[in-house]
């Protein structure tokens, strides 16, 4: 059932959310997830100026009927938000972070493909506002990281560590942000002389698959996570938004939620 929240008095306990990159794959998944969740209300979405869907109702963009929130090419309607969720692209994401910082609004970053200077900018912004940076917002990847953290002492028994990942044909960054994050996470915890290689595949509409592969002699161990639907990322982003809303300034990750 479509929720026409613009005709309702918003409960003070409802978390007011805006979406940066609202017309993309993840933006649409978030619109659907928020529409089903009575803890959240969707205020607005933002996208690039040249997007021909600017001005449309976000529910129509997500093909669920009107929800009473529109897509804009600016952040003017974001000022009343409790949390911003960003699933856009690096250049637009940096603009969103700047707005978030200037207006003291916590922000969940699901965008990937940042450059080194972008990461420095995010770290500086986190000294002013709470930021949760998550290349992957699924609970499963947070759990996979936890497994690695708890078992990393045993990884030295293996001769080779690799990561493989698969995503849909339109994903721009390769390797994925999740794969790079896992590789960095492993490098910090495992004594391994060689660099951890990442194999990337693009094709179809794959929501996301990641494997950490441990090899020695004639045996192989695989720690894997497969997203069957990108709704898991949207649900995880809402968990992150609810958690981040009350946190002090600082840079957080999904693992911090489940510690």
Which listed residue (3, 32, 133, 167) is catalytic?
167
| 144 within 8 A of 236, measured Cβ to Cβ | no
User: Which residues fall within 8 angstroms of residue 137, CB to CB, at 6 or more apart?
Assistant: 108, 110, 233, 234, 236, 237, 239, 240, 254
H helix and E strand count, the chain:
8, 11
Which listed residue (101, 171, 211, 225) is catalytic?
171
Distances (CA, A) of 87 to 45, 94, 222: 11, 11, 29
| 97 within 8 A of 109, measured Cβ to Cβ | yes
Name the phi and psi angles at 39, rounded to 5.
-85, -10
- CA–CA distance, 144 with 136 (Å, rounded to integer): 11
The answer to whether 225 is a known catalytic residue is no
The answer to whether 167 is a known catalytic residue is yes
- Which tokens belong to 107? 């922000």
Q: Which of 188, 136, 134 is nearest to 165 (CA)?
A: 136
- CA–CA distance, 20 with 86 (Å, rounded to integer): 5
- CA–CA distance, 25 with 23 (Å, rounded to integer): 7
Active-site residues: which are they?
Answer: 167, 171
């Amino acid at each position: 059932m479509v929720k026409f929240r613009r005709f309702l008095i918003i409960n003070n306990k409802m978390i007011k959310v805006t979406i940066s990159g609202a017309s993309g794959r993840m933006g649409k998944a978030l619109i659907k997830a928020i529409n089903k969740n009575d803890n959240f209300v969707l205020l607005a979405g933002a996208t690039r100026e040249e997007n021909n869907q600017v001005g449309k109702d976000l529910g129509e963009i997500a093909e669920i009927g009107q929800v009473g929130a529109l897509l804009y090419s600016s952040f003017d309607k974001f000022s009343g938000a409790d949390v911003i969720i960003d699933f856009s692209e690096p250049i637009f994401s940096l603009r969103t972070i700047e707005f978030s910082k200037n207006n003291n609004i916590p922000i969940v970053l699901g965008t990937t493909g940042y450059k080194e200077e972008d990461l420095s900018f995010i770290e500086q912004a986190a000294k002013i506002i709470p930021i949760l940076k998550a290349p992957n917002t699924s609970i499963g990847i947070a759990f996979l990281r936890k497994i690695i953290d708890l078992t990393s002492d045993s990884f030295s028994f293996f001769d080779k560590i690799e990561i493989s990942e698969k995503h849909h044909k339109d994903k721009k960054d390769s390797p994925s942000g999740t794969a790079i994050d896992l590789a960095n996470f492993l490098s910090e915890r495992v004594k391994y002389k060689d660099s951890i290689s990442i194999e990337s595949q693009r094709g179809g509409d794959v929501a996301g698959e990641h494997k950490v592969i441990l090899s020695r002699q004639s045996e192989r161990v695989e720690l894997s996570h497969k997203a069957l639907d990108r709704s898991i990322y949207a649900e995880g982003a809402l968990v992150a938004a609810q958690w981040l809303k009350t946190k002090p300034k600082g840079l957080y990750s999904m693992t911090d939620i489940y510690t």
